[in-house]
Amino acid sequence: MIGVYLGRPIEGWTHARIVERFGEVRDYVHEAQGRPLIVSDDDLSGTFAFVRAIEEHGPHLGSREIGLTWLNQIVEGRSILWWGGMGNSTEETAYIRLKSGIPAPQSGSIALNGRPAAEQIGAQIFIDGWAMLAPNNPELAARLARAAAQVSHDGEAVDAAVALAVMEALAFTRRPLEELLDAAQATLPPEGTLARLYRDVRQWHATLPNWRDAFAELEKYYGYHLYPGNVHVIPNHGVILLSLLYGGGDFEETLVICNTCGWDTDCNVGNVGALMGLLCGLNAIPERWREPVADRLFVCSAEGSRAVTDAVQVTDNLVRLAHVLHGLPLPERPPRYHFRLPGSVQGFQGEGVEVQPYPDGLHLTVNGAGRATVATFLPPEVPNPHDTPYTRNLGQGWNYTLLASPTLHPGQRVTARVRVDAPLTVAWTLDHYDAEDQPVTLNAEATLLQPGTHDLTWTVPDLRALPVARIGLQLEGAGTLILRHLDWQGVPTLQLTRPPGAGQMWRRAWINAAGRIDIKSPGLMRFSQHEGVGQLLLDARDWTSLRLRAVMSAQLPAPLGLAVHTRGLRRHYALWVRPGLVELVRQRDAERVVLAQAPSLWEPGERLELCLTVVEGSLQARVGRAMLEARDPNPLPPGGVAVLCEANGVDVWEVQVQPI
């Protein structure tokens, strides 16, 4: 994370340009470039979204299964990847292959895509998450890395990803850097370009005391001018090796060298930051780099409830995936915010309150009045994306579209355990967007807490389709409140109709996986899809027993419907309606199982009420007078909800979500 944030504002700069502008890059330079610090980025989204293949396919997976996860997690033209075009963006090229039915690893092969495209940098930039699942197990790390890399790449790019993964797996046990490099080099074909690069950079390190002289050699013999494509792996892997060697095992110096070298800075410094973080530990990270980040990151995928997140939640998920991978009992799910990891604040920020991490919880110190809150949805500064896919460079420093669903909704019960050292008046506080997209603060009834431990609860009230942006605690008095943990759960109670005003945040709560949205439609939403399935998803991970109701209409005699227990784009229960037929379907990747069907009297142009209920694998559906029931012997895990269409244009007039 820190490496990506350090390198992002100068991505693509040459070494000469960086030196002229900054000398050495020792701090974040986003403000100097007029950019925000925390932005969506492919290096983070791909790294932490693609490892979900283990959730979807279990521990015995290969390239084919990881490719299926690409299709489930990537919103075409909008999430994770650099959408630079077929034959120009390696990852988009591989995605198009997958979408057309070509499985991985063929999807990323030289034979299909050509050597220049197959040997760009993308394989290694997504590899850190896989290595983190294999601590001190370089063989497993290499196997996972190769399988993941081959979805989109081939040749030297795959070898580079494997070499990095092996080093990161070994870094868990704090081995000498030379030992890590030896292990990485041993994985490479000895006559290949990458092996020669390792030998040369290590030789330069032995003979040239100054890293700048070594970089001059790297630029001369392995520079961009020698390799085809936009961002070739060889020059950038060389920068990684050079910075590791000349950094001398020091976290800060290694990242400074890597960033100052230039080229694909966010990718390179992201990889180096992951490796050095594992090797050196949290205490080696400068506080001036860690404090502004406050653990915050965005992971942009079809699972929008996991978009606005933090380093601790991502770490908890990696730990859980590692248990699955190694056949270990799953750990108990911790509260969403638990602050157990050293120095963690999990995105909490104070207004009139000092926020400090301690081993016993998050310390909130106040002298007067103030509050501490955490984001639950898109921050106000995120640019509004275009309504059609393949939007690039949204402005204001946002090169990648950020898709997200709120993590907290009306009707859900928020809980916290706190300890106070002096009498403090405490109230739940939240911000929600109004109909013009302006944040509005809503406070619950305040309570005077005496010194001691207290459990706090609150049910989020009805906000009439307006999304919750932040949640936290309002404090008044003089003293310290220790926030042990904070969480929420349950299916929300949502009655969604189009709010008045020109705001769009209520609409952006839905993940747009459709060809087009018409924001001027008279109803709640109007969306269309030229071919295949288009969907708008209100994402969640834990909505178990619920009823989804919607009123929809379409002018074409083509399918429309609802989905529940959605996890990504291709895993859900769906209620599909077309003239003459209603179907209740379980979709799991390409597997489509019809659980029940009945005749339909719906005609295009008519408003249609659809209702779909799910309780522990039992499903009930109603479309007008048609009723369907089914029980799935192999039930899907809980998830979110969606509205669907296939080669159609659909008006959605209202949506209700209710717990059962």
**Distance between CA atoms of residues 580 and 583, nearest Å:** 10
Q: Within 10 A of 352 (CB to CB), how many other CB atoms are there?
A: 14
Q: Is position 539 annotated in a ligand binding site? A: no
User: What b-and-e string marks burial along 452-466, b requiring 16 or more CB atoms within 10 Å of the CB?
Assistant: eebebebebeebebb
Q: Which residue has the tokens 């109803």?
A: 523
Cα–Cα distance, 317 to 297 (Å, whole number): 14
What letter represents residue 12's amino acid?
G
Helix (H, G, I), strand (E, B) or coil at 425: strand
Residue 629's φ and ψ, nearest 5 degrees, are -140, 150
Residue 271 contacts residue 239 (beta carbons within 8 Å): no
DSSP codes, 600-649: ----TTS-EEEEEEEETTEEEEEETTEEEEEE-SSPPPP-EEEEEEESSE
Is 266 annotated as ligand-binding?
A: yes
Which H, E and C letters describe 327-385, residue by residue?
A: CCCCCCCCCCECCCCCCCCCCCEEECCEEEEECCEEEEEEEEEEEEEEECCCCCCCCCC
In our burial notation (b when 16+ CB lie closer than 10 A, e otherwise), range 484-510 reads bbbebebbbbbbbebbeeebbbbbbbb
Please tell me whether 387 is known to bind a ligand.
Answer: no
Distance, first Cα to last Cα, the chain: 40
Q: Which two tokens stand for residue 362?
A: 């998050």
Indicate the residue type of 576: W
Chain centre to alpha carbon of residue 324: 20
The β-bridge partners of 431 are 441, 470
43 annotated among ligand-binding-site residues: yes
Asked if residue 40 belongs to a known ligand binding site, the reply is yes
Binding residues for Mg(2+) are 40-41, 43, 264, 266
Binding residues are 40-41, 43, 264, 266
